[in-house]
Structure 1
């Protein structure tokens, strides 16, 4: 979380980190409790990443890309689907029969979303925006991730200004819950 560089470099590094967590899950046998640990870590990263994209990336997409509103709406739909899957996964232990089904569904949803962003959205954004604007967006995304929730909240607003107003408070509560439960720690 917080790697530096422009928004595209920041978000691509997030994608790589999530993919590494997914690979860790896939390397372990079904039912291994470490799968739940890695799934929790992936969820924490994905929620922070999504909140940052929803707060800053997608508004920029709406403003600077042709058909930007349609693109941003599709990305928000992807986020909503993944967030529902993460919420379902949150209540499953690694030994739960639904865990494997849900983690595979989440990995498929996220991998498709990441590939779409990296192959389509990010190149178009790089063409449409100045290096200075992309760097400013990178700074804003890093700040948003620091304050963002760490647990899925499917019913929370996903567009500004409501998401920017609510995310820090929800994020604080999530981080307190994580600290008390040990969630996301090695």
Structure 2
């Protein structure tokens, strides 16, 4: 008498492995899609300008929410937090150290300190999503402060840093910044 046994465990493991592979590929694809606009920019400073522009577009969407849309505010605030976290991570781990190396220590430290206030605004906004008027008031203050921060970077500090870097150093800085961005994308 011959008996045949079926090993469904092998099929299950194979299916789980395929599922895990698909999930990993999807995760990598998502990371690349999130980081693509930054990675495809002409230079690190142009990439950061694009990120600033995208941030302001998220502010616009939050400002346009209606009183009866706390869930929408919560979702958009989460997207803003993620974008700002990635952006800050890039700057704090590449741009600001490069500024310090170029003799711009005080400026880099000031920018880094301002990032702490960004985190405070995000914390405060999270507790205000149900209170439309208070949320919009805090958001307006946040936008004013972040616009000042962005303008200082784009118009004064980043051009100064870029002027101190060789073309090669600038390209290396862009590559480092993109690697950092992919970590949180």
What are the ranges of 5 or more consecutive residues in structure 2 without an aligned counterpart?
1-33
Deviations 1:100-127 (A, max 9, x none): 2322222122111111111101110121
> Which residue does 2:108 correspond to in 1?
72
Residue pair 1:31, 1:95 contacting (<8 A) in 2 also: no
User: In the alignment, is residue 108 of structure 1 matched against residue 144 of structure 2?
Assistant: yes
Aligned partner (choices 52, 65, 77) of residue 28 of structure 1: 65
* Rg larger in structure: 2
Residue pair 1:30, 1:100 contacting (<8 A) in 2 also: no
Q: TM-score, with normalisation over the residues of structure 1?
A: 0.71
- The CA deviation at 1:82 is 1.0
Q: Secondary structure at the match of 1:114?
A: helix
User: In the alignment, is residue 60 of structure 1 matched against residue 86 of structure 2?
Assistant: no
Equivalent pairs counted in the alignment come to 147
> Which residue does 2:52 correspond to in 1?
15
Q: Give me the whole-angstrom Cα distance separating, in 2, the residues matched to 1:102 and 1:16.
A: 20
> Which residue does 1:158 correspond to in 2?
none
Q: Give me the whole-angstrom Cα distance separating, in 2, the residues matched to 1:74 and 1:63.
A: 15
What are the ranges of 5 or more consecutive residues in structure 1 without an aligned counterpart?
151-186
**Worse-superposed segment, 49-58 or 20-29:** 20-29
Residue pair 2:67, 2:132 contacting (<8 A) in 1 also: no
Q: Secondary structure at the match of 1:93?
A: coil
